[in-house]
A and B are shown apart, each in its own frame.
Chain A
C-alpha cells in the first residue's frame, strides 16, 4: 500500500490536522486572546467543509476495513455542513467568561467525535465500525458535561456515558453472535454467508438494539430527554442532529449491504419501532415546557419518520433518508440556533418565555417559525419535500397503513410546533424577551440555515444528486 493512497482518507486526515492545530494554537496564544481560537477554528472548519466537497478518488484501505466512495463522501459532507453550523452558533456561548479556559477543548472534542463518525461511515468491517462508534460517542459525554459546575450538565454526561457503554455492550454482543455464525466481520463477507438462522437473527436483534439506543428509537429513548436537557444547548443540537445523522447513515448502510437477506425480518422490527417512535415522541413532546426537552422529544419523533425510509429497503428510501437528514440538519439547527441565541441573551429556555417574541425580535421569530414548519413538514419549505419522499419510499412498497399513521403523526407534531408559533406570534407577555442584536456568527449560521431550509426543497437537482450518489453505497 502506497502512502499516496492515504489521500482517500482526506476527510479524516484534515480533521485530525485541524484538531491538532487548534491544540497547538491554544498553547501559544495569549490568555486574554483566547477568542481568536474560535475565529481560527471556524475558518479552518469552513475550509475543511469546502475542501470536502471537491471530488475525490474512491477506494479501500487496510484490506477493505476502510471504504470510501462518492455516496459515503456525501454523507461526510452533510455532517461537515452540520458541524460548521454548530461551530458558528456556539461562538457567542464560548466567549462567555466561564468558558474561556476550555475553548480549544470544545473544538478538539467535537472534531474528534466527527472523526469517529467519519470512520464509522467509511467502515467496511465491524471492528472499524465499532472503533468509529466509540470515538464518536465518548468525547460527546465530555461535551455534555461541559458546564461541569451545573449538576444537571454533569448528570447528563454521566447518563450519556453509561447509556453508551450499555448500548455498545449490547451491540458488541450482537456482533459476536454474528461473527460466531459467519466467521467474518467484513461487511461483504458476512453478506455472502448470512442466511438468517435463528442465532444470526438474535445477533441482528442485539445489533439493532444497540443502534436503536444511538438513534434514540422507542423503547430505547429514555436517556434522550434528560441528556438533552442537561447538556449545553449547542451540544444538544449536536447530539440531536449530527450524532443521530451519523448513526442513521451507518445504520442504513449496514442494513442495506450486510443484512439484505433478512429484509423481511427487519422490516417487521422497523414497522413496529417506527410507529412507536413517532407516536410516543410526539405525545411526550406536547407536554414539554422546557424547549430543550421539547426539541428532544421532537427529534425522537423525527427518528420515527426517518425509519420510514428504511422500511422499503429500496433505493428511493436510501436517497430520501440521506436527503431528510440534510433537511433535518438545517431545520433543527435553525430551531436550536434561535433557542441558543435567546438563551445567551436572556437565559430563558421555556415556552412561556417566548410569549410575544415577535413584537421584540421579529427576525428570530420568523426563523424559528420557518424551522418549525420545516420540521413539521409544511410546504413550501424543505421539510415538506423530505417527508414527502420518505412517505413515498414507504408507499412504494405498499406500506400505506404506516404512511397514514405517519401523516397523522405529523398532525400531532404540527400541534405542538404551533404551540411555539402561538407563543411567539399570538400571545402577549408583560415581561417579553428584550430586543437584542445577535452577533455576526449567529446571524451567519442562522442565515445559512434559512437558506438551506428554503433552497434544499426547491432544488430538485440536489435530490437527484443524492439519489444518484446513493446508488454506489
Chain B
C-alpha cells in the first residue's frame, strides 16, 4: 500500500480499534497511539518528499497513484502530493495529535467523542491527498459532518444552535462547490475527448471563459465559506465558541484551511483566467474579512469569541494572499495557513485549559493568572505574540511575505487594499495585548483563582508540541518556504501566461 493511502487507513483502523475496546479508559490511549503513528508518518512523508525532490523528481505531484473507480462519470481514486499538501498534512497531524492530548479528560461518551474526532481528521487527510475532484469533495464533506455531533454533544453554550448553523452554512458552501465541480468536469475537455475530474489533467486544458465566469465564483465562494470569507463567516464565531477544545483546535487550525487550500487548488489553479478577471471582487471581500475580523475581536469579552474573530481575520488574510496570485504572496498564504493553524490551535488549547480551571471564559472575570499558573500564562503570551506577528515566531514570516507579495502589484487598487489589510496588524496587537494585560497581569481578581494548579503532563505535551512548531517555522522558515515555493511555480507560470502584468 502506498504511503498516502495510509493516511486515510490509519484513522480508519484507529476507529475500528476504538470500537472494539472494552475499557473506556484505554480509548484515549489507543487514539493517542494511532494519531502518534500518523504524526510519525507525516514526518516520514516530509522527508520522503524532500528526498525525492532532491533526487531530481520534477513532476508537479509525487507519489501519484490512480485507480479507476467509476467509469462513467469518469471518477478515479487519484492521490498525490506536492509541497503544499505535504505541509498541510504535517500541520494536520500535529494539530490532531495536540488535540487528542488537549481533550484527555473528556468524560461524557468518550468513545464516541474520539471516533467522531478521528473521522473528521481522516476526512481532512483524505482531502489533502486527493487530486481527483470527486474524492476531494467526498473527503471534504466527510470532514464537515462529524462537526455537528462534536459541537452538538460535547460543546458548551448555545451548542445546538451553533452546531446547526455551522453545519448548514458549511454544507451550503459545499453545495456551491458541487455545482462548480460538475461544471468543471463537463468543461474539462473543450476539444472533445474524455471528461475528467483529475486536477492535473484539467490544469493542462483551458476551460472556456464563459464557463469559468460562472464556475469560478461558485467554487471560490463555496470554499470561501469554510475559509470564513466575509460575509459568509458568521458560522465561525458561534461554532468555535460552542465547540469543545479539541474541536475548536481542529476546526480553526485545520478545517478552515481546507477552504483556503480548496480555493487555491480548485478555483484559482483550474480557472486562472476568471480568477484574474474577477479577483477584485473577492479581494475587496477578503480585505473586509481581515479588518472586520480584527475589529470584531477587540470588542469581544469571551476568550473563544476573541480567538474566533481573530481567526476570521487571519483566514481572510490567507484568501487575500491567494488572490494576489504571485509567487511571494502565495508562498505567504501557505505559510500563513500553517502558522495560523498551529497558533490558533495553541490558543484554543490554552483557552480550554484555562476554562477547565477557572470555569469562565470572560476576560473581565479573570486577572493576574501569571502568578498562579505561570506555565500556561507564558504559553498564552507566546501564542499572542505569534498571533500579532512578532519576529522569530511563525506569524511574522507569514504576514511579512504576504504583504511584500501584495505590494509587488504596482496598480493603485492592489496597493490600497494592501495598506488597508496591513492595518490589521496594529489592530491585532491591540486585542492581543489587551487580553494579555487583563487576563495575566495585574492583581488576581477572583480569590478562587489563587489556588489553581498549573498544566498537567498531557496538557504540556499538547502545548509544547505546538509552541515548538510555531517557533520552528519562525526561526527557520527557509526549508518550508522552499518546499512550498517549488510547488507554486506551475501555478504562477500559468497565471503569468494569462496576465503578464
Stretch at the interface among B166-174, B304-312, B350-358: B166-174
Q: Chain A contacts of B442 at CB under 8 A? A: none
Residues on A with C-beta less than 8 A from B183 are: 395, 400
Which of B87-95, B144-152, B339-347 makes up part of the contact surface? B144-152
A461 CB to nearest B CB, Å: 9
User: Is residue B476 within 8 Å, beta carbon to beta carbon, of the partner chain?
Assistant: no
Q: How far is the CA of A391 from the CA of B181 in the complex (A)?
A: 11
- In contact, A426 and B141 (Cβ under 8 angstroms): no
Is residue B72 within 8 Å, beta carbon to beta carbon, of the partner chain?
A: yes
Q: Interface size of A by Cβ–Cβ distance < 8 Å?
A: 32
Asked whether, in the complex, the Cβ of A392 is within 8 Å of the Cβ of B73, the reply is yes
If over half of A's interface residues share one DSSP class (helix, strand or loop), that class is named, otherwise mixed; here it is helix
B142 touches A426 (CB 8 A): no
A316-B72, A460-B70 as given contacts; A396 in contact with B186, CB under 8 Å: yes
Question: Given that A380-B138, A463-B70 are contacting pairs, would A422 and B160 also be in contact in the complex, using a CB cutoff of 8 Å?
Answer: yes
Given contacts A389-B73, A422-B164, A425-B149, contact A380 B142 (CB under 8 A): yes
- The contact string, 1 if C-beta is below 8 Å from chain A, for chain B 118-155, is 00000000000000001000110110010011001100
Cα distance A408–B174 in the bound complex, in angstroms: 9
Output the nearest chain A residue to B155 by Cβ-Cβ distance.
Answer: A426
Q: Quick check: B148 and A418 within 8 Å, CB to CB?
A: yes
**Cβ contact within 8 Å between B149 and A460:** no
Measured between beta carbons, the chain B residues less than 8 angstroms from A403 are 178-179, 182
Instruction: List the A side residues contacting B141 at CB < 8 Å.
Output: 378-379, 384
Per-position binary interface string of chain A over residues 441-464, scored 1 when its CB falls under 8 Å from any chain B CB and 0 otherwise = 000000000000000000010011
A404 at the interface (CB under 8 A from B): yes
Identify which of residues 399-415 in chain A touch chain B, using a CB-to-CB cut-off of 8 Å: 400, 403-404, 407-408, 410-411, 414-415
Q: Nearest Cβ in chain B — how far from A396, in angstroms?
A: 6
User: Taking the complex as formed, is B416 at the interface, i.e. its CB lies under 8 A from any CB of chain A?
Assistant: no
Least Cβ distance of B421 to chain A in Å? 31
Complex formed: what's the CA distance from A43 to B119 in Å? 39
Question: Which one of A316, A392, A421 has the greatest number of beta carbons of chain B within 10 Å?
Answer: A392
Does B214 reach chain A (CB closer than 8 Å)?
yes
- A421 partner residues in chain B, CB cutoff 8 A: 148-149
Bound CA span A322–B457, Å: 56
A464, B71: Cβ atoms closer than 8 Å: yes
Q: How far is the CA of A414 from the CA of B176 in the complex (A)?
A: 15
A392 / chain B contacts, CB cutoff of 8 Å: 73, 182, 185
A404 and B176 form a contact (CB under 8 A): yes
Per the bound structure, the CA–CA distance linking A407 and B172 in Å amounts to: 8
The reply to whether A467 and B182 contact each other, CB–CB distance below 8 Å, is no
Q: Name B170's closest neighbour in chain A (CB-CB).
A: A411
B407 to chain A, nearest CB (A): 37
What separation, in Å, do the CA atoms of A289 and B142 have in the docked complex?
29
Q: Is A373 an interface residue (CB 8 A)?
A: yes
Q: Which residues from chain A contact B153 at a C-beta distance below 8 Å?
A: 425-426
Report yes or no: B175 in contact with A410, Cβ–Cβ below 8 A.
yes
Complex Cα distance, B214 from A233, in Å, reads 45
Question: For A407, what are the chain B residues with a Cβ–Cβ distance below 8 Å?
Answer: 175-176, 178-179
Q: Are A415 and B71 in contact (CB under 8 A)?
A: no
Whether the pair B186, A411 counts as a contact (CB closer than 8 A) is no
Instruction: For A467, list chain B residues within 8 Å (CB).
Output: 71-72
Does B375 sit within 8 A of A, measured CB to CB? no
**B138–A414 CB distance below 8 A:** no
B478 at the interface (CB under 8 A from A): no
By the criterion CB–CB under 8 Å, are B145 and A378 in contact? Answer: yes
- 1/0 contact trace for A353-388 toward B, CB 8 Å? 000000000000000000001000011100010001
Docked CA distance A127–B332 (Å): 71
Say if the beta carbon of B413 comes within 8 Å of chain A.
no
Known pairs A422-B152, A460-B69; A384 contacts B138 (CB<8 A) = yes
CB distance from A456 to the nearest CB of B (A): 13
In the complex with contacts A400-B183, A460-B69, A411-B172 CB distance below 8 A: yes
Contacts of B175 in A (CB 8 A): 404, 407-408, 410-411
User: A421 to B148, alpha carbons, bound, how many Å?
Assistant: 10
The answer for the CA separation of A153 and B149 in the assembled complex, in Å, is 37
Partner of A418, one of B134, B164, B185, B186: B164
Task: Return the 5 tightest CB-CB contacts between A and B, nearest first.
Answer: A407-B175, A395-B182, A426-B152, A379-B138, A460-B70
Having A379-B139, A422-B160, A460-B69, one finds 10 other A-B pairs with CB under 8 Å, namely A316-B72, A398-B186, A404-B175, A407-B176, A410-B171, A418-B167, A425-B153, A427-B160, A460-B70, A460-B75
